[in-house]
Amino acid sequence: MTSHPAKPSMRDSLVAAAFQLFLERGYEQTTIDDIVRTAGVGRRSFFRYFPSKEDVVFPDHEQSLADMTEFLAASEDGDDPLLRVCEATRLVMRMYAENPTFSVQRYRLTREVTGLRTYELSVVWRYEKTLGDYLRTRFADRRDGTLRANVLAAAVVAAHNHALRHWLRSGGEGDPLAEVDRALEFVRDTWHPDAVPGGAGPGAAGEREPDDVVVVIAKRSTPMWRVVREVEASLGED
């Protein structure tokens, strides 16, 4: 018995038709009517899946955002927040890696069309907000919790995008997950593990050990030279 490949969904057919026309005619020259005509469906079918022509260029981001949100929501109290957001960001890179040809075509298209670059920035902001919302919850008991969450979310997104752009500029060659892992490792190494509450941190896996901490208790009136001597004695530097 001969098996036949599964027929692409209407949504996939619309995306394929759109990119075929974008490559042949250009994005600005392609209309929604052109897309539905090529896909062999009606306008109503297009708007059932995509609110606008811009959305057909980014058909997978809504699901990717939903997956990221669900992943973060499943986090447990003992999970390290920084590691958790790094793992969540890898979900996005896996989405790009599933279809390198499409990802590279989209990258080149967004470089050419100003409106698509603006749309892409709004998508990136939503990813960053999702990470930031999670981190603000985890750091809620810290005085600097909001600042720490915002900076960490921005750093993780910047590292991910650096790796993603490098991979896309290469034409999709190489291992994008290895690229993003190296970039995220830089973020983890920059943010000392003992600065991230709620979990063992990267250093627990042997990646980086925290510096020794010496605590000296002294009266406010104690001369500074005596405080220094106490520190030196604690460190064995007499």
Domain parsing of the chain, residue ranges: 8-58, 60-203
CA distance 89 to 122: 16
Residue type, 118: T
**What's the Cα-to-Cα distance from 226 to each of 212, 215, 216, rounded to whole Å?**
21, 14, 11
| Residue 98 DSSP code | T
Give the N- to C-terminal CA distance of the chain in Å, as an integer: 85
Query: pLDDT band for position 234 (50/70/90)?
Result: low
Q: Which fold has domain 8-58?
A: Arc Repressor Mutant, subunit A (1.10.10)
Could you tell me the pLDDT band of residue 9, with boundaries at 50, 70 and 90? confident
Q: Is 118 helix (H, G, I), strand (E, B) or coil?
A: helix
- Kindly give, in sequence order, each residue whose CB lies less than 8 Å from that of residue 198, ignoring residues fewer than 6 positions away: 77, 78, 79, 80, 81, 138
| pLDDT per residue as tens digits for the range 165-191 | 999 999 999 999 999 999 999 999 988
Across the chain, how many H-helices and E-strands are there? 11, 0
How many other C-beta atoms lie within 10 A of the C-beta of residue 135?
A: 25
Q: How far apart are CA 193 and CA 186, in angstroms?
A: 12
Helix (H) / strand (E) containing 112: helix 100-112
Give the pTM: 0.75
Helix (H, G, I), strand (E, B) or coil at 235: coil
- Asked if CATH classification 1.10.10.60 holds for the domain at 60-203, the reply, yes or no, is no
Crossing angle of helices 114-138 and 100-112, rounded to 10°: 110
Q: What is the pLDDT at residue 199?
A: 39
Give per-residue pLDDT as tens, 139-169: 999 999 999 999 999 999 999 999 999 999 9
